Amino acid sequence: MKNISIIFSRELLSYFSTPIAYVFLVIFLLLSGSFTFYMGNFFERGQADLLPFFGFHPWLYLFLVPAISMKLWAEERKSGTIELILTLPVKVIEVVIGKYLAAWFFIALALLLTFPIWITVNYLGSPDNGAILSGYLGSLLMSGGFLAIGSCMSSVTQNQVIAFIISVVVCFLFLLSGTNLVLDFFNAWLPQEAVDAIASLSFLSHFTSLSKGVIDIRDFIYYFSLIGVFLYINIELVNIKKGG
Amino acid sequence: MIEIKNLHKKYNGITVVDNLSLTVNKGEVLGFLGPNGAGKSTTMKMITGFIEPTSGEIKIKDYLITNLSYEVKKYIGYLPEGAPMYGEMTTYDFLLFIAKIRGVEKNNINNSIDSVISDLSLQDVIYKRIEHLSKGFKRRVGIAQAIIHDPEILIMDEPTDGLDPNQKYDVRELIKKISKDKTIIVSTHILEEVEAVCTRAAIIAKGKLLFDDTPIALKNSGSGSLDDIFREITLGVGN
């Protein structure tokens, strides 16, 4: 635990000692705000909830989370610091988790800074704040899923651009598998159970209910298993590929 | 103590380290010499547990290095090839991070940082980012992080690369000063360095150990300068 917290602090410090943190926060807040108000018709809908706000999160994360995660391992390998960190008295699992948690904490911070929108909706009407909290929780969990994929893909290569592109593609597949576009295609020739199985792998299916305030333990299990699987692969990849 | 027995490393079918056996005792400073690509860095990476040997064994303080043993890493200080460091950190933050993760005791951390800062004359760059430092300072920060926890085993890959003559002199004096109760391996291209700081010289080329004796014996092993002797020993291999 002690090593994880030392790695966590170092990583977090490094976000804020480079422009990455500020650029990310500003872009995230600008985009989430403008999507909600302009494309989400926040005012015109006349409803006191944050559905248009949460509705854009999967698409926002699709690009912004890989932008954070692409450097996690690719940069360590490119700059050679992976040799420094892995010859310290730490276990690979501690480094992977420490780095992952720092990035997740950082995204949580960005999410927390969207609080003015929560104040706005409370000022304009009387929304179901429980549902909003559930939406935030769902959004945080979903970002954790995107991040685990991104961290794993970052350990595949020492090139950050490649890490970014692969992460976006893999995350996109996980998103799409829940859309009607994909499901209709499978509906035509696969039994309903198989289509449900594909849909159940999707970020969207597990996020939609949470964003509406429906807390289902299965959604939590889904996200935590997904994170677990990708971080496990991440650890193995670091072990296998660290030397060359 | 470091014991290396029949060490082999192959990358994609090419042998990089070939049946290398070496023992370095406490109090010894082994100068690891060899042309570029001889397998020096690869051997050091295996000793520090970063990469695994294809076959053979490495023992450090009677711990066998297998599966990157966690315990043994505590006793090692390591300056990797090229002194990689987190450029966005300041010298102080970086040394603090290393001291913490190396397990330096809390009430000892400030002393350890102060002592390496003074040993390596880093006073002027404490609060500067590492990426903004000159090559000489970077290398010295790299040495500082390797010795901050007063390790029993010290492995340094070209510690004096990029230093000016005065800085080289200082680093050599530092190595001599701390070497009494440590086991040290230093790789270098500079032959005078071996004469100046090492108690033993090992020459490898194409992964094979070709010479292992005192620097004086190396000097006496042929006629002419150290450079000539080095050429004589290393050029014959594999032809």
Taking the C-alpha atoms of residue A20 and residue A94, their distance in angstroms, rounded to an integer, is 24
CA atoms B171, B176, B182, B188: torsion sign: positive
Tokens 């004469």, located at residue: B195
The fold of the B2-75+152-235 domain, in CATH, is Rossmann fold (3.40.50)
* A36, β-bridge pairs: none
pLDDT at B237 over 70: no
Question: B11 CA to chain A: closest CA distance, Å?
Answer: 9
Residues of B with Cβ-Cβ distance to A89 under 8 angstroms:
70-71, 73-74, 101-103
Angle between helices A57-69 and A203-211 (to 10 degrees): 120
pLDDT at B80 over 60: yes
Average pLDDT, integer, range B182-197: 88
B152: pLDDT confidence band, cut at 50, 70 and 90?
very high
B201 within 8 A of B33, measured Cβ to Cβ: yes
Complex-level ipTM = 0.91
Residue A10's domain spans which residues?
2-241
**Interface A-B: count of C-beta contacts within 8 A:** 67
Tokens 């002419």, located at residue: B224
pLDDT at B238 over 70: no
B67: pLDDT confidence band, cut at 50, 70 and 90?
low
Q: Which chain B residue has its CA at the smallest distance from A81's CA?
A: B84
B192-217 pLDDT per residue, tens? 888 889 999 999 988 899 889 888 88
Taking the C-alpha atoms of residue A195 and residue B144, their distance in angstroms, rounded to an integer, is 59
Tell me how many domains chain A contains: 1
Specify the DSSP element, H or E, that contains B203.
Answer: strand B200-205
Residues of A with Cβ-Cβ distance to B86 under 8 angstroms:
10, 14, 81
Q: Looking at residue B100, what is its pLDDT?
A: 95
B239: pLDDT confidence band, cut at 50, 70 and 90?
very low
In Å, the largest CA–CA distance within chain A is 58
Q: What is the pLDDT along chain A (244 residues), one digit of tens a residue?
A: 899 999 999 999 999 988 989 999 999 999 998 888 887 777 777 777 788 888 889 999 999 999 999 999 999 999 999 999 999 999 999 999 999 999 999 999 999 999 998 998 899 888 889 999 999 999 999 999 999 999 999 999 999 999 999 999 999 988 888 777 778 888 888 888 888 888 788 888 888 888 888 888 988 999 999 999 999 999 999 988 776 5
Question: A117 CA to chain B: closest CA distance, Å?
Answer: 34
Task: Return the residue in B46, B48, B86 with the most chain A beta carbons within 10 A, the one to mutate for interface testing.
Answer: B86
